[in-house]
Amino acid sequence: MVTDFATMLSALDQGKNLNVVVHYGKCRLMIDSLEEKSPDVTGGMKIEEFEYFPANTIRNPKGYIATSKTVLISHSRYGYVWNYIKFRFYENGEVEINARYIDPLTLETKMNETFHGALSDKTTDRGVHLFLK
């Protein structure tokens, strides 16, 4: 298990494979700037592409690693939508996760949720778990 930003960055810099698993119920959920109850759902993905932005390189006060993925899914209410997820792993261990459902024809956003968690360690579940593969 990878439990800190420096180890994550080092692993990615060496070309190692990382998987992220999120326990959304352990994260804070924000919708339209209002905090909502987080669903007790688990999700995960491989980190295949990423970018690292050191602090103050693009007017960002904290350094972070960004990664995202988009997959087409069949949703019970929206039909076929692009399921877009974006992660920002900050150098202080905080993690921001943005999840959206996007209509593939109109590109209209059907759902937009932002979760706030942190990297977990071996004893404390802070919502976000990183694993070397």
Question: CA-CA distance, 93 to 120, in Å (whole number)?
Answer: 9
**What is the helix, strand, coil percentage profile of the chain, to 5?**
10, 55, 35
pLDDT by residue for the chain (133 residues), tens digit each? 999 999 999 999 999 999 999 999 999 999 988 999 999 999 999 999 999 999 999 999 999 999 999 999 999 999 999 999 999 999 999 999 999 999 999 999 999 999 999 999 999 999 999 999 8
**What's the pTM?**
0.95
